[in-house]
Amino acid sequence: MLRLGKREFGPHEPVIMAIVNRTPDSFYDQGATFRDEPALARVEQAVADGAAIIDIGGVKAGPGEEVTAAEEARRTVGFVAEVRRRFPDVIISVDTWRHEVGEAVCEAGADLLNDAWGGVDPRLAEVAARYRVGLVCTHAGGTQPRTRPHRVEYDDVMADVLRVTVGLAERAVALGVPRESVMIDPGHDFGKNTRHSLEATRRLGEMVATGWPVLVSLSNKDFVGETLDKPVKERVVGTLATTAVSAWLGAQVYRVHEVAETRQVVEMVGAIAGWHGPAVARRGLA
């Protein structure tokens, strides 16, 4: 059972996490939701399309202009409070690696801290424990925040992913984070080249076998672009193909830009796998 905010999810119940960037320079939408009203409209549409989680980020993952903790908090804290007011039942996640920002957004009503940089600030898990909120434990290969990997090598990339993410998850629970609110994430593209990310996808079942709910953040990433030789705006099909494979292998949470399309993919996979039936059944019954 995965428990986040006011919601509980069964083992084969897919969970869609919609990305809402409060940044002027995000790689995919180039700041489309930097201002409040477009961002709130994005939240409303994502919820209508089936997102259970809204993931709010105040700093883009890649290199760029420095964003201080104070500026990151300015971009996210008030917005978290407003989303909490308008959408009381939605699960609010904040994508941050900084404990100071984590503290502030939890005070504002966040239910989940999405630590995409692999515990680089160990105090973030302490914040999650203190507020009894969820935590995403990600493999980033030891990469520092907002840097790109350079000639990174692993003897066995999945062995390293398992060592790091399970270790972070166990530490979080030992600190007091509710076990049912901890997820692990292989960290596609983070501290990895394209071949590493493809292998992590191919072997995702090994993460699922640990018993921790697995989150995948695949949406329009570079490993999809390099595999298909496609620019950012032409990666949706490759993303959805990777999503289908991840769903078949047992991933549960999907951090995405395209909510409605992802929802259809994971529901179709679930029906084929026999985890649930079709939404309607009329054919051959008339």
Catalytic residues: 221, 255
Side chain identity at residue 119, one-letter code? G
Torsion of Cα atoms, 98 then 145 then 140 then 77, to 10° = 30
Instruction: Count the helices and strands in the chain (H runs, E runs).
Output: 10, 10
Could you tell me which residues come within 8 angstroms of residue 104 by beta carbon, excluding any fewer than 6 positions away?
73, 76, 77
* 80, 109 Cβ separation under 8 angstroms: yes
Radius of gyration (Cα) for the chain, nearest Å?
18
The token pair that represents 21 in the structure block:
């960037």
How far apart (Å, rounded) are the C-alpha atoms in residues 11 and 273?
A: 13
The token pair that represents 175 in the structure block:
């600190």
SS in 3 state form for 258-283?
CHHHHHHHHHHHHHHHCCCCCCCCCC
Return the percent helix, strand and coil in the chain, to nearest 5.
45, 15, 40
